[in-house]
Structure 1
């Protein structure tokens, strides 16, 4: 995504603060939200066995990350 934004000149500001904020949220999604949603889905729908600890852990973390995102969007 970063490559495409830089190549096209779209979606990524040339202003330092705006660019930093955009990159911060991009990396937050790539390093936090994306992986946690993937794990949540895996342990709830694809795992060959039910592991209550994993289900609880990733559901709680997914809810926490959605809360962070919602607070930012308010």
Structure 2
């Protein structure tokens, strides 16, 4: 079964990787714990939208002006 990883999984891959795993491992561990989604067209689009939102949030946090705090 092909899955898209939603977080880093030891000895399997990084977030966003599409990996091929045994059906039982996906059904019994990865999917119930929210570590992966089945790799179909709808889930890939959903993941790419979430990734874009995360990048946008990180970028805005980095570029946001910080208040001046005098000593």
TM-score, L = length of structure 1: 0.37
Greater Rg by CA:
2
> Relative contact order: is structure 1 or structure 2 higher (C-alpha 8 Å, sep ≥ 6)?
2
Report the structure, 1 or 2, having the larger strand content. 2
TM-score, L = length of structure 2: 0.37
Report the structure, 1 or 2, having the larger helix content. 1
